[in-house]
Structure 1
């Protein structure tokens, strides 16, 4: 690995996932929309489009997560002011798991109504969706421990808009008492975190200390350093 590639990898952050996770969220939302559509053909088109979006978003998200994990293993943890960004990979993992389960469930009912595939194909999609969703949930649970460990190791980290990485939408699809209990725990934790982050965000907006862009501050310093050189050359 060259010095330049090492610098690029060290500067890599989980924010790279933000443009990608939009496809995963859209796929999960499409499954919900298909469930509400009365016309089976419209529902079928929505399901197919959602499968395409899921197929675009999840492989890309897994690639970025692998690169980000390599960055965490080879270099030190992110600075304290952005340490909460380690929670961001939970977004595509959670939404991807829920989305593929919901899409499989909708495929089971919609394919039979539209005679899209041979009989029993919808059941196969449903079973595969449940299995893939469970695997993504397990990986997300592991990453949750990674993220909590990273935050606890940092101990003190200032509030900023990155704290919204704590908040993720929750979905329910698998009928299980275990998932009902653990889902309730996660739901309560998400609501409490949302209230906490909302209060801090409101306070930050009121006293305007959240309106800070470190990248612009660095750019201003570079421009100030170049100005004397430009004057001297003139």
Structure 2
């Protein structure tokens, strides 16, 4: 299994270049969608920078549009793989690592949906709301399928062991709480009170569908690292993945709780709305504190890895989305609390995220151009 994990992240193909453009389709895997997660969260973070900078929001909107292009291109390539190489493509369900990356597809879509509200609404008006609403329900279905089907495959078809476990186990289950955050952002733009309540309750269910399971996985991950130490250096970025569900759990409580009073009041449940708002705020702060601990730990782990060098691979996108979610959560707290620290710290995190994204994106473009990043470990299993 260790060889499977290393081969996924090594970014090295047995051939010096792709034998044909069609080979890129044959070797295409879901982990490419991690790039849409990192790009999308950077766009959303830049749009929320606490101080106005000329042209920054326009740049963020352009990045969001680029993210749409990437998502569509990756979707076409992956669908083409299933149509042209069905027998090889279906092997993904038996692979203990590649299958986890199915969760990146609905999470990448969630950043596009959130961008429709942040960028599309001001530019094109309320016409984008029905599209965002429809895409959100599609995202909900995809997230729940990932959260159920991939763990089922883990229990029935795949081979796993504690010493080879990494934080990629989180990817299929975290998608649901990301969809929950999108639901909280969408609900104030829905006009009908009953529909608002349906989205609100669904968002709470999605949060509960994901967060407790993610926390359970984190407990196992802590035990694994204490007993078996750090994973192979090709998995260095996975140390940041745990920050994702923690930061998203915090953001979900803050966003959903913030909209709860208006939604529940409109549905004659005002008392529940005020309770939900208070619980959401307190839970959001608590999860943010837990995320701060994990971010500092991940930083120390990364510094240790850097001493021996970290080989580039698609897994480097794991540095971006978790940090981005924690950044957006920090910026959200800066709008709720009159504490200058959150605004300043959020700005620092945005700049850090931008620098990390530029590094990872540059290396990815270079690797994609050379063809070295197109590798499907399922074909070697």
Same fold per TM (> 0.5)? yes
Tell whether 2:352 aligns with 1:189: yes
- Aligned partner (choices 241, 244, 263) of residue 110 of structure 1: 263
- Give unmatched runs, 5+ long, in structure 2: 1-159
Q: Which structure would you say has the larger RCO, counting Cα contacts within 8 Å and 6 or more residues apart?
A: 2
What is aligned with 1:65?
A: 218
How far is the alpha carbon of 1:100 from its aligned partner? Answer: 1.0
Residue 215 of structure 1: how far off its partner (Å): 6.1
After TM superposition, list the pairs within 5 Å mapping 1:39-54 onto structure 2: 39-54=192-207
Residue 58 of structure 1, CA deviation? 0.3
Q: Which runs of 4+ in 1 moved over 4 A?
A: 213-217
1:166 maps onto 2:319 in alignment? yes
1:24 aligns with 2:177: yes
Query: Once the two structures are superposed, what CA deviation does each residue of 1:136-192 show, in whole Å capped at 9, x if it has no partner?
Result: 111111111111111111221111001000112443433233222111111111122
Distance 1:95 1:80 in 2: 26
2:356 equivalent to 1:203: no
Match of 1:56 in 2: 209
TM-score by length of 1: 0.85
How far has the Cα of 1:212 moved from its partner? 3.1
Q: Structure 1: where are the runs of 5+ without partners? A: 1-6, 220-234
Offset from partner CA, 1:79-100 (integer Å, 9 cap, x none):
1111110100111111110011
**Inter-partner Cα distance in structure 2 for 1:178 and 1:38:** 36
SS at match of 1:120: helix
Deviates more, 1:45-54 or 1:184-193: 184-193
Separation (CA, whole Å) in 2 of partners of 1:76 and 1:214: 24
CA RMSD, aligned part only? 1.5
Structure showing greater Rg: 1
How many residue pairs get aligned? The number is 210
Q: Aligned equivalents of 1:58 and 1:142: distance in 2?
A: 17
Name the SS of the counterpart of 1:21 in structure 2.
helix
Give the structure 1 partner of residue 252 of structure 2: 99
In the alignment, which of 115, 140, 145 is matched to residue 291 of structure 2? 140
Q: TM-score, normalised by structure 2?
A: 0.53
